[in-house]
Chain A
Amino acid sequence: MVAAREKAASAGATAGGSATGAAAGRRRQLSTPARLRRLLTAVLAATVLFWIAATILQQGLQAAAHSARDALSPAYQDAAQMQASLSDADLAAWQAFRSGAAQLTGPGLRYQNDITNAGQALERLAALQAPGSAEGSLLQTISGQLVNYQNLVEQADAEYRRDIALGGASVGDLGRVYLTYSSNSLRGPGGLLANIDGLTKSGQHALRDQLASPWADRALPPVFALPALLTLSGIAVTQVLLRRRFNRAVSLPLLLAAAATCGLAGWLLTAAWHADSAFATARGTALPGLAAQWQSQTNAVKNAAEALTDGASVASSNAGLDPSATQTASSRLDAYLASAGNDGSLPAGIPVLAAATAALCYLGFRPRLNEYRAGGGRR
C-alpha cells in the first residue's frame, strides 16, 4: 500500500511539470525514508537547540540574580552602612564632648558601636573585592582614613582632659579643635565620607544596572523559546507526513513530545517572567526605598553633627540611626532578589523534559523507519 501511494505521488509530481526550479526538483527526488531521516534530524536538532537556549536563559537569570543577591547588594548595603555608622559616630562623639559626658566615658559607647559596625562593614566589603581592583585600592585608603579618624578622636579625648587639667591656662579648647579636625577628616573633600559615598553610589549603580541587565528584559524569554516552535513545527510536519504516507492519524509519542515541549516552554517563560518581575520591583521600588532610607538617616545625623560643630545646643541634636527601618527596607530588597533567583526545579526540569522530547520523537519516527528497513530496499 505504501509503495502504491509513493508511485502515485511520484507520477503526480512528474505530471506537475518541470518549471518549479532546481530546488523543487531536489525535493521531488527525496525518498520517504530520506525525508523521515531528515525530519528526525531536524526535530532532534530543534529540541537540542531549545535545550541549549533554555539552559542559557536559566543560567543567565541565575547568574544575574546570584550576582545581585550575593555580591552587589551586600556591597552596596555595607558601603551605605559604613557611611551611616561613621556619620553617626561623628555625631555621637560631638554629643559626648559637648555634653561633658566625655570626661567620664570618652567619646562614648554609641561612638564605639558605630566604629565597630563601620569596621565590620569594611571587612565584609574588602572580602567581596577582587585583589588589585580599583575598589580594593579605595578600600585600602578608606581603611587608613578610618584609623586616622579614630586617632584624631582619641587625641581630642586626650586634649579635652588636658584642657580640664589646665583650667584657665587653656584658651584654645584644644579638645574641641581636635574633634573638629576629626570631623574635617570625615566630612572634608576627599575625606572618609566622600570616599565611602563614592563606593555607595557606584555600588548602587552597579546593582541597579544588574537589575536591568539584558537577562531581566521581558522580551528576552520569548526569543529563547523560539526553538520550541521549531520543534513543534517539525513534529507537526512529521505528523502530516505520517498521515499522508502511512495513514497514521496521530502518533502518540509525537503527541507526547509536543506536550513536553509546550510544558517546558511554558515553565521557562513563567520562571523567566517571574524573575523579570522580581528584578523590576527590586529596581523600581525596593532599591530606591532602601537608598532613600539610608540617605535620609545619614543626612539627619550628618546635619545634626554639623550643627553641633557650629555651636548648636546638645539638647537639640536628638537625631540617630533607625536600624529597624533600614532592616525592613533591606529585607524587602533581599526578598525580591531571592525570589528572582528562585526558579524551583527548572534546572533539573530542562534536561529531563528536553531529553524526554528527543526520546519521544525518536520513538515516533522509529516504527516507520523500521518499516523501510524491514521492506529491504523499498524506496
Chain B
Amino acid sequence: MTRARRVLLALMLVAVSAAVFAAGGCASPPAADTVTVLGSWTGAEQDGFMAMVSGFEQKYGIKVRYTGTRGADAVLATDVKDGNPPDLAVLATPGELDQYARDGALLPIDAALRSTGLTSEYGPGWRKLMQAPGHDGATHYFAIFVKAALKSVIWYDPKTLPAPDARLLTSPDLTWAQLTGLTARLVGPGKSPWCMGLEDSSSSGWPGTDWIEDILLHQSGPRVYDQWVNGTLPWMSEPVVRAWQTFGEIANTPRQVHGGTQGELLTSYAAAGQPMFSDPPGCYLDHEGSFITGFYTQDTLGSLDSKEHPRPRTDFNFVPFPALAAAGQGTEEVAGDLLGLFNDTPAARELIAYLTTPQAQEAWISRPGSGAISVNQRVPLGDYPDPVSQALAKDLTSATDVRFDASDSMPQMMQNAFLNAVLEYLDAPSQLNAILRGLDQVRAAAY
C-alpha cells in the first residue's frame, strides 16, 4: 500500500467515525453504579439523608439518586404496580413493610446484613420490626431503620409559657388533669393552648392518629394498646371510644386549638408549630414526634419574615406525654423510617449495609436541627448536636416499655381508614359512633 493510499484510508476511517459521532450514535447505557432511592424526606430531612449517603458515595464510588416527595407512599404503590420500582424506598410503616414483603415486591436483605454488626448494634425490638414473613412464608429481614422518632412528646416554648405554668409542665409528676388545667388557663383572645395541623398530602390525618394512640396508650396501658393494634379490640370498645372522646375534648373544643377545626384540617403538620414562635404566640403546646425539631429550626421567630430561627432548649423544649391513668405510666410511643430493597443490585445491597453502620447514622443525627435519632446502640449520645436531641435520644434508647406507632403497625387498609376517620371526626364530631362502626367493618376485612 502506498503512502498516499494509507493517508486516504486513514482519512476515510476518521470520516466514518466522525459521521457516526455526529449522528448521535454514541449514547451510553445507564450506569450500573447508581442507586435510586425514593423517600418522603424533603427539605432538611432530605439534606440529612444526603449527608448520610455522601460518605457512601465517596467510599464506594456509587452514586445515590434520591427522589423526595411527601406522597412517596402513593408514588411507591404506583411504581410497584407498574413493575418499575426504585432500587430502595423508604417505608413509613411496618404495615407497608408487611404488605410489600408478603406480595413479593420487597426483597429479603439477610445476605446484605450478614457482614454488618446488626445483632450487636440494634436492640431485639427494633430488629424484629425490620423482619416480616416473605413471599415464601419464611421470616426475613426486609428493611433497616434509617432513623427513629419518639412520639410521646409535647413541645413548648420556654420563653412564652408563663413561669408557673412552665414549672408545672416540666414537673416530672405532671398529670393529665394538671395539663388540662394548665391549657384552660392559656385560652385567651387570639390565643389557644394547642397547636395542631393534620395535613400531609396522601397521609393527612396521622398527627390526629398519633394523638389518639398516645391517649389510649397512656389511658388504658400497653396491653389494651396491643390488643387494639392487633385487631382484637373493637373500635367501639370502651377504651378506644374514650380515647377518641378525650382527643375530641381538645381537637373539637372551640378555642382549644389554634385556627379552630378548619385550621387543624388545613394546616400542615410541619407548619403547625410556627404560631408557637410568633409574637404574641398563637399557641403554646404542640404534640408532635421528635422529628419536628427539623421543622422548628426552619420556622421563624417573632414574625414570618424574621431571619431568626428557633433554637433548641432556648426556643423549644419538650416534656413527656403524661399518663392519664396508672395503667399508662412509664410507657412511650415510638416510630421509625424503614428503608427496603425493591431492586436487588450489588450497589443497592452495599448501600443498605452501609446505612446500618454507626458512621452513616452519625452523619444524619449530628446535623444541627435534624431531629433524627439513631436506633444503633453504638452511636454515642455526645454525637447529637444539642441538649434537646441528646435528651430525646436518651429517652428513646433507655425506654424500657415502648410501643410502635399503632397506625403504622396496622394493616394498610386499616391505617388508611384510621387516617380518614380522624379527619371525618373533626369534620362531624357528632358522627363518632358511625365513624367507629365503619372502622370496625374495615377491621373485619383488614385483619
Q: Residues of A with Cβ closer than 8 Å to B?
A: 41, 44-45, 48-49, 51-52, 55-56, 59-60, 62-63, 66-67, 130-134, 137-138, 140-141, 143-145, 147-148, 151-152, 155, 159, 162-163, 166, 169-174, 177, 180-181, 184-185, 188-191, 195, 215
Contact of A145 among B4, B15, B75, B424 (CB under 8 A): B75
Contact at A141–B75, with CB atoms within 8 Å?
Answer: yes
Q: Residues of B with Cβ closer than 8 Å to A?
A: 4, 7-8, 11-12, 14-15, 18-19, 22-24, 27, 29-31, 34, 36, 38, 42-43, 65, 67-71, 74-79, 82, 84, 86, 199, 201-202, 204, 261-262, 265-266, 268, 420, 423-424, 426-431
Contact at A185–B70, with CB atoms within 8 Å?
Answer: yes
Contact at A130–B7, with CB atoms within 8 Å?
Answer: no
Q: Give Cα distance in the complex from A263 to B11, angstroms.
A: 23
Contact at A172–B426, with CB atoms within 8 Å?
Answer: yes
Minimal Cβ-Cβ distance residue in A for B42: A190
Inter-chain contacts of B431 with A (CB < 8 A): 166, 169
Inter-chain contacts of A188 with B (CB < 8 A): 70, 201
Contact at A49–B428, with CB atoms within 8 Å?
Answer: no
User: Which of B43, B424, B428 is most buried by chain A, counting CB atoms within 10 A of its CB?
Assistant: B428
Inter-chain contacts of A174 with B (CB < 8 A): 265, 423-424, 427-428
Inter-chain contacts of A49 with B (CB < 8 A): 11
Q: List 30 A-B contacts (CB under 8 A).
A: A41-B4, A45-B4, A48-B11, A56-B15, A59-B19, A62-B22, A67-B24, A131-B30, A132-B34, A133-B30, A134-B65, A141-B38, A141-B67, A141-B75, A144-B78, A145-B69, A145-B74, A147-B77, A147-B78, A148-B74, A159-B424, A166-B428, A166-B431, A169-B428, A172-B265, A177-B423, A184-B199, A185-B71, A185-B202, A191-B70
Contact at B65–A137, with CB atoms within 8 Å?
Answer: yes
Least CB distance from A177 to B in Å reads 5
Q: Give Cα distance in the complex from A169 to B432, angstroms.
A: 11
Contact at A45–B11, with CB atoms within 8 Å?
Answer: yes
Least CB distance from A143 to B in Å reads 6
Given known contacts A60-B22, A151-B202, is B79 in contact with A144 (CB within 8 Å)?
A: yes
Q: Give Cα distance in the complex from A45 to B15, angstroms.
A: 13
Q: List 12 additional A-B contacts (Cβ < 8 Å) besides A52-B18, A172-B423, A185-B201.
A: A52-B12, A59-B18, A134-B65, A137-B86, A140-B86, A148-B71, A162-B424, A166-B428, A174-B427, A181-B204, A184-B199, A190-B43
Q: Give Cα distance in the complex from A336 to B80, angstroms.
A: 42
Inter-chain contacts of A45 with B (CB < 8 A): 4, 7-8, 11
Contact at B79–A59, with CB atoms within 8 Å?
Answer: no
Q: Give Cα distance in the complex from A131 to B34, angstroms.
A: 13
Contact at A177–B266, with CB atoms within 8 Å?
Answer: yes
Q: Give Cα distance in the complex from A143 to B75, angstroms.
A: 7
Contact at B27–A130, with CB atoms within 8 Å?
Answer: yes
Given known contacts A41-B4, A45-B11, A148-B71, is B78 in contact with A171 (CB within 8 Å)?
A: no
Minimal Cβ-Cβ distance residue in A for B28: A130
Q: Give Cα distance in the complex from A122 to B11, angstroms.
A: 45
Contact at B14–A144, with CB atoms within 8 Å?
Answer: no
Contact at A132–B30, with CB atoms within 8 Å?
Answer: yes
Minimal Cβ-Cβ distance residue in B for A309: B266
Least CB distance from A113 to B in Å reads 22
Contact at A189–B42, with CB atoms within 8 Å?
Answer: yes
Contact at A62–B70, with CB atoms within 8 Å?
Answer: no
Least CB distance from A373 to B in Å reads 17
The 3 closest A-B pairs by CB, nearest first: A132-B30, A144-B75, A172-B427
Q: Give Cα distance in the complex from A171 to B68, angstroms.
A: 34
Inter-chain contacts of A138 with B (CB < 8 A): 67
Least CB distance from A228 to B in Å reads 15
Minimal Cβ-Cβ distance residue in B for A148: B74
Least CB distance from B424 to A in Å reads 7
Inter-chain contacts of A215 with B (CB < 8 A): 22
Contact of B19 among A55, A172, A181 (CB under 8 A): A55
Inter-chain contacts of A44 with B (CB < 8 A): 4, 8
Least CB distance from A119 to B in Å reads 12
Given known contacts A41-B4, A145-B74, is B23 in contact with A189 (CB within 8 Å)?
A: no
Least CB distance from A175 to B in Å reads 9
Q: Give Cα distance in the complex from A51 to B266, angstroms.
A: 69
Minimal Cβ-Cβ distance residue in B for A171: B261
Contact of A63 among B8, B22, B78 (CB under 8 A): B22
Inter-chain contacts of B67 with A (CB < 8 A): 137-138, 141
Q: Give Cα distance in the complex from A141 to B68, angstroms.
A: 9
Inter-chain contacts of B69 with A (CB < 8 A): 141, 144-145, 190-191, 195
Minimal Cβ-Cβ distance residue in B for A181: B204
Least CB distance from A91 to B in Å reads 19
Contact at A140–B266, with CB atoms within 8 Å?
Answer: no
Contact at B15–A52, with CB atoms within 8 Å?
Answer: yes
Inter-chain contacts of B78 with A (CB < 8 A): 140, 143-144, 147-148
Contact at B428–A171, with CB atoms within 8 Å?
Answer: yes
Q: Give Cα distance in the complex from A170 to B262, angstroms.
A: 11
Inter-chain contacts of B423 with A (CB < 8 A): 172, 174, 177
Contact at B14–A147, with CB atoms within 8 Å?
Answer: no
Inter-chain contacts of A131 with B (CB < 8 A): 30
Least CB distance from A194 to B in Å reads 9
Inter-chain contacts of B84 with A (CB < 8 A): 140
Inter-chain contacts of B201 with A (CB < 8 A): 148, 152, 181, 184-185, 188
